[in-house]
Structure 1
Amino acid sequence: MDEFSRDVRLIRLPRWGHVSANPGVVPWLVFDEEGRAVEPVRRYLIDFVARYNRPGSVRSYAFDLLRWWRWLRVVDVPWNQATPAEGRDFALWLGATVKVPNAARTVSSATAGTINPITKKPYLDDRYKPRTIRHSNAVIRSFYTFWIETGDGPLINPVPLARSERRRPHAHHNPLDPYRGEGRLRYNPKVPRRRPRQMSDERWNELFAALRSNRDRAIVALAISNGARASELLGMKGVDVDWGDQLVRVVRKGAQAEQWLPASAEAFIWVRLYQSEGTPLDPQAPLWWTLRRRDHGAGLIHQPMNYEALRAVFRRANALLETNWSMHDLRHTAALRMARDKRLSPRDVQTILGHAHLSTTADIYLVEDEEQVIARVQEYLADVKERAALPPPSPAIGYEASALDVLFGGELA
């Protein structure tokens, strides 16, 4: 088939292969239909793990590469013969196709792709978002960069850079700023920039009242106190709670560095109430446990709480409130509250949020509140209307009318 006649809208990817956990050094691998690990992907992921990337990142990369492998099978192109034409068409396909879910939508079928009237947040639909496409492009480019460097793979990367030939990389780099990528990927879509919204006190009280257990109240109270991420809070152990100084220790998502964060007195009260209900108190054990005991081969025992269990907590609360709040909304709310408090500097907010660069904090959170801007503009427009209805001021005695007409263009006539 001619590469320019490929109609990506008609392409449907097969259910070829799968991603599964692996007991070896690489925690996740891509397997073919016969259960064998895909060798080029396996070798790349070994190098990826050796660069101390987190297991969650390995899993994410494996799924992106599985989708790319399925695409290559449909277009009948070997992985080491892919060209920018395949990378281009794959990006076009991601932007045009509709995902085939593992199970049909039930309750969410009526809200998919709509805007929640309470939170003003969109519900997810069945299309690939621009950030997903950009991540996929970055993964594929990294995979082929690895094989080009080894000398055993292709000579061309199917995801090229869009860098202009007239610009030299880092030509105007500020020595005080970190080096960034040399250029944007050619087939990356633009990402619409959405400003984070602060949850009002009324909405926060509604969400908190909808929670069913002291464990859930303790988690969200900690999140609204210091803006810690869900994965950071779920990774806490009993020893990570400093009751005397009212601090909690988390392992940061990106740098994997330990950091002590302050929390409100109310959050510690809910943590104590949760622990008084009979949860394991071993300082070296996870802090958060499931409320119900489950049998995973060792009898009925409590299990450490994971991210899916936390999502279920929000699903129940959202179903009751008809909202679509998430843990990240609590992080946004905590960050905006701190950023708009005059007692805290931007550096303070950056440190608590765990951002590597102050520019990240400033670009996201040190912005004007849209609701306050709208209120000020509405006040301005009402004031303009009132001023227009007033008669023009009378000039002081002693000025000639002809001179004032020339000076003010006849406005005082």
Structure 2
Amino acid sequence: MEIHEAGRADAHPAVLPRWGRVVAADGVVPWLLLDDSDEPVTPVHQFLVDFVARGNSPGSVRSYAYGLLRWWRWLVFVDVAWDKATSAEVRGLVLWLQQAAKRREADRTLSAATAGTVNPVTRKEYLDDSYKPRTIRHSNAVIRSFYEFWLDLGEAQGPLVNPVPLRRSRGARPNAHHNPLQQWRTDGQLRYNPKIPKRMPRAMTDEQWFALFGALRSNRDRAILAVAVSSAARAAELLGVRPADLDWGEQLIQVTRKGTCARQWLPASAEAFVWIRCYLADLGAPLEPTEPLWQTLRRRDHGTGLVRQPLNYEALRAVFRRVNATLGSNWSMHDLRHTAALRMSRDESLSLRDVQVILGHAHLSTTADVYLVEEEAEVVRRVHQHFSRHADQQRQPAPVAAAGYDDHDLAVLFGKAAR
């Protein structure tokens, strides 16, 4: 990669230096960005303290810390101080992300042949090692938020400008004629944000669901997937459920919503509660009301005896890896949420508002934009029917004119020539 004067970089791909690292920490800030001397990066640490004080979750802190680690590595590469960065550095990072490949601790093995291809069972694309548009947009949002914090402080030694500029729309001010049924637009979009292709949600067919469910190995896995496909809850929301969050009489499960952290009761199917009962019977010893509901069925030795561990997200992903290897598919936990949402949206007895509440969307327009869509397979089926009808019409013989009728008059009447 060439480095121009003033530390500007062009768009040729390169490997960023292995500068710094993000580590978990005890204290107010659950994640820290350390430099090469294993010392916290002071500007980032002060920002993360404020970020935590604004009520953001540990997962968000971790995400922002890794976003700023990438930004700091880019600044080290182009040799620009963090408080002297301009939009040129942001543009260079965006161009690099659009062409670079993610660094992996180990090379791909079994997934090397399928990366970037489409699975024939699910018709979903396998992930490759490129940075997706959503990752680039998140990177821009993290950097802009970081510099907004320092500009608000007004420190004499801080940055003078925010290096992530806005692309303001022409004409009237934003939201001048706001439709109350639509979301509020922010005051300008980030200039270097790439466009995100719209992804069509796809529901599992009954046959695909039965195949997935039949390949599961334990009642715990059957229980959590049955709850997910009936309640449309996210994976992180389900993993936070406790025994106290189960209402057996009303068949409800209480989850903590992503983003708002609000507690909400969601209905689940009777079948899901049957599998939960089977799973709890397999555990043997009863769970405490406040401990995590989902436990690993494999025990681990920590030096003080064998104890069970709460099921985490990586262990849940391992469940899907085993099932996908058996079925030759690439299903994920989020496909169950899409399946539940599309089934509900196509049920005439449920309103769109009902679906919005179950999904936990803040705006009705989000539910409508994502799930009020025509299923691709159904559209293809109707188009094929159209082709068949058109071919049948072409194969029909032309009408034969009876004695005493003029062929020209019949052609005007029926639209094709008579024989």
Per the normalisation by structure 1, the TM-score is: 0.93
Q: How far does residue 42 in structure 1 lie from its aligned partner after superposition?
A: 0.8
Of 95, 100, 109 in structure 2, the residue corresponding to residue 97 of structure 1 is 100
In structure 2, the residue corresponding to 1:222 is in which secondary structure?
helix
Q: Distance in 1 between matches of 2:51 and 2:58?
A: 10
Offset at residue 383 of structure 1 (A): 1.5
- For 1:395 and 1:39, the matched residues in 2 are separated by 93
Deviation (angstroms), 1:325: 0.6
Q: CA deviation at 1:380?
A: 1.6
> How many residues matched?
412
- Which residue in 2 is equivalent to 1:379? 385
Moved more, 262-271 or 175-184: 175-184
- Give the secondary-structure state (helix, strand or coil) at the position aligned to 2:106: coil
Q: Does the 8 A contact of 2:181 with 2:364 survive in 1? A: no
Counterpart code for 2:101:
V
Aligned equivalent of 2:257: 252
2:189 counterpart SS class: coil
Is 1:219 aligned to 2:224, yes or no?
Answer: yes
**Corresponding position of 1:325:** 331
Counterpart position of 2:153: 150
For 1:198, what is the secondary structure of its paired residue? coil
- 1:270-289 → structure 2 map (5 Å cutoff): 270-277=275-282, 278-289=284-295
Is contact 2:9–2:89 with CA below 8 Å preserved after alignment?
A: no
The alpha carbon displacement at 1:296 in A equals: 3.7
1:242 aligns with 2:227: no
Matched, 1:41 2:44: yes
1:205 to 207, 210, 222: 210
Offset, 1:192 = 1.1
Distance 2:405 2:354 in 1: 58
Aligned to 2:138: 135
How big is the shift at 1:41?
0.6
Which residue number corresponds to residue 347 of structure 1?
353
Instruction: Please give the alpha-carbon distance, in whole angstroms, between the structure 2 residues aligned to 1:90 and 1:350.
Output: 37
1:399: how far off? Answer: 11
Q: CA deviation at 1:31?
A: 0.6
Equivalent AA in structure 1 for residue 113 of structure 2:
A
Q: Are residue 368 (structure 1) and residue 371 (structure 2) matched?
A: no
Give the letter for the 1:258 counterpart.
R
| Cα distance in structure 2, aligned partners of 1:50 and 1:158 | 24
8 Å CA contact 1:17–1:33 kept in 2: the answer is yes
Aligned mates of 2:128, 2:307 — CA distance in 1: 37
Q: CA deviation at 1:151?
A: 1.1
Q: Which ranges in structure 1 are unaligned for 5 or more consecutive residues? A: none
Answer whether contact 1:215 1:288 (CA < 8 A) is retained: yes
Q: Percent identity?
A: 62
Shift in Å, 1:401? 9.2
Q: d(CA) in 2 for partners of 1:55 and 1:25?
A: 10
Once residues 340 and 10 of structure 1 are traced to their aligned partners in structure 2, the CA distance between those partners, rounded to angstroms, is 46
Question: Contact (CA 8 Å) 2:183, 2:365: kept in 1 or not?
Answer: no
Inter-partner Cα distance in structure 2 for 1:227 and 1:168 = 38
Q: Distance in 2 between matches of 1:279 and 1:310?
A: 22
Report the 3-state secondary structure (helix = DSSP H, G, I; strand = E; otherwise coil) of the residue aligned with 1:29: strand
Give per-residue Cα distances to partners, 1:268-306, cap 9 Å, x unaligned.
Answer: 111011111115421121111111221345432111111
Match in the other structure for 2:114: 111
**104, 123, 126: which one pairs with 1:120?**
123
Please give the secondary structure, in 1, of the residue aligned with 2:33: strand
| Aligned-partner SS, 2:167 | coil
Q: 1:193 maps to which residue?
A: 198
- Measure, in 1, the Cα distance between the counterparts of 2:102 and 2:20: 17
Rate the CA distance shift 1:381–1:10 in 2: closer, same or farther, 3 A: closer
How well do the aligned residues superpose, as a CA RMSD in angstroms? 2.4
Mapped contact 2:8–2:89 kept (Cα < 8 A): no
Residue 279 of structure 1 contacts residue 289 of structure 1 at CA under 8 Å; is this kept in 2? no
Counterpart for residue 59 of structure 2: 56
1:166 is displaced (CA, Å) by: 3.6
